[in-house]
Amino acid sequence: MITLHHYLLISALLFCIGLFAVITKRNAIMMLMGIELMLNAANINLVVFSKFDAQMLQGQMFALFVIVVAASEAAVGLAIILRVYGLFKTANLDEIDQLKH
Is the residue at 100 inside a domain?
no
Is the residue at 95 inside a domain?
no
Q: Are 11 and 52 spatial neighbours (Cβ–Cβ below 8 Å)?
A: no
DSSP per-residue letters across 10-79: HHHHHHHHHHHHHHH--BHHHHHHHHHHHHHHHHHHHHHHHHH-TT-THHHHHHHHHHHHHHHHHHHHHH
Domains: count for the chain = 1
Is the residue at 33 inside a domain?
yes
Domain of residue 15, residue span: 4-88
Is the residue at 11 inside a domain?
yes
Tell me the pLDDT of the chain averaged across its residues.
89
pLDDT number for residue 99: 62
The 10s digit of each residue's pLDDT in 17-52 is 999 999 998 898 999 999 999 999 999 998 998 888
d(CA 13, CA 78): 25
CATH number for position 81: 1.10.287.3510
Is the residue at 93 inside a domain?
no
